Amino acid sequence: MDKQTFVMGSVGAVFVAVILKIFWSYNSYLQQLFGGNQLLQAMLVPSILGTWIRKLMALFVLTRLMYRFWPKKSLKDKLILVTGGGAGIGRQICLNLAKQGAHLVIWDMNSKGIEEVKKEITTTFPEIKVVTQTVDVSDRTCVYNTAKAVQEECGFVYGVVNNAGIVSGKPFLEIPDSKIEKTIKVNLLAHVWTIKAFLPAMLERNEGHLLSVTSAAGLFGNCGMTDYSASKFGAVGLLESIRLELQKMKKTGIDTTIICPAHVQTSLFTGFRTIPLLPSLSPEYVGRKVVEAIQRRKKVLLMPRIGYLAYAAKGVLPTAVDDWVKYFLGINNSMDAFTGSGVPPP
């Protein structure tokens, strides 16, 4: 286990221990002090909880400060592959990686888009090398062959950013089988193919970074997203399991990052109805935060921050309550007016 994971994990363990201490000491203390007098116990609740809440807040601030001031990883002269880099989030990731001095290999079916991105990067950052390739990431043979060629011609690929994605945006029974298969291939199996193609070289050097741009739909199901959500749940589970395998192998030089943004303002999700408390995110913001997550070796990033609270609540609340909240906030209707292409622009 690497130093950052050990330190941050230790602090997190203390954080959890304090939470458990709250429930244990709160009940035992009140029982000892007041016995069975429920009224007196209730009157003392605000004071005791206030004390423990301040302790929790202090621990939270401590962990945030440790994260904020932990040294950033340099990406200068690193070669990083970005799939789906011709538009939207992928384009912004490429621009921000170039800003940090990373050289790029950009894959996309949008040939025009990746050439425009290449031109923009080389004009702004002439010292950055950019290789563009038209690749169908859902085609295993194509991925393996192109990956082999990239490593032979360009050298060691330090980072793999799996960003390409598509969505159907229809109720489950209205989605053709062929479309479901395509969604699973692009959103999940493409991650499998690219990681299998580039991970062996990372293992040899004990160096590298694997990042998957998934979605909040990879943590929460939603109407009109059955195939999309299933593929994103799979992508989250895939990289989380790989992270644990790398730790078990003591490959501390290889980092993994799972990105789970809520709705992002791209043509992929045109017509998506914004959900209360979950503002839509701009591709510029997401692209910037993705690169920052790489530099800070962040394991999981949910955007916006309220996603962390929602995910924690999902594990605590009864399923019926969780479903009611989605109904009350109108989350189940967010895809009713969906008119997006479901694929990146050509």
How far is Cα of residue 220 from the mean position of the Cα atoms in its chain?
A: 13
From the candidates 67, 228, 285, 327, give the one annotated as an active-site residue: 228
DSSP state of 299: S
Other CB atoms within a 10 A radius of the CB of residue 140 amount to 16
User: Three-state SS string across 174-233, please?
Assistant: HCCHHHHHHHHHHHHHHHHHHHHHHHHHHHHHCCEEEEEECCHHHCCCCCCCHHHHHHHH
pLDDT at 68: 67
pLDDT at 41: 43
Task: Give CA–CA dist 179/54, Å, rounded.
Answer: 51
Q: Is 67 a catalytic residue?
A: no
pLDDT at 65: 63
pLDDT at 233: 97
DSSP string over 72-117: PPP-TT-EEEEETTTSHHHHHHHHHHHHTT-EEEEEES-HHHHHHH
pLDDT in tens, the chain (346 residues): 566 555 555 655 665 566 555 555 555 544 544 444 444 444 444 555 555 555 566 666 666 666 666 788 999 999 999 999 999 999 999 999 999 999 999 999 999 999 999 999 999 999 999 999 999 999 999 999 999 999 999 999 999 999 999 999 999 999 999 999 999 999 999 999 999 999 999 999 999 999 999 999 999 999 999 999 999 999 999 999 999 999 999 999 999 999 999 999 998 888 888 877 778 999 999 999 999 999 999 999 999 988 888 888 888 888 888 888 888 888 888 898 888 665 665 5
Cα torsion for 210, 215, 217, 219, to the nearest 10°?
A: 50
The partner residues of 258 in beta bridges, in order of sequence, read 212, 300
Backbone angles phi, psi at 132, to 5 degrees: -115, 140
pLDDT at 39: 45
pLDDT at 3: 61
* Token representation of residue 249: 């192998």
Which helix H or strand E contains 66, and what residues bound it?
Answer: helix 38-69
Task: Give CA–CA dist 293/329, Å, rounded.
Answer: 30
pLDDT at 327: 87
pLDDT at 44: 45
pLDDT at 331: 86
Task: Give CA–CA dist 172/63, Å, rounded.
Answer: 42
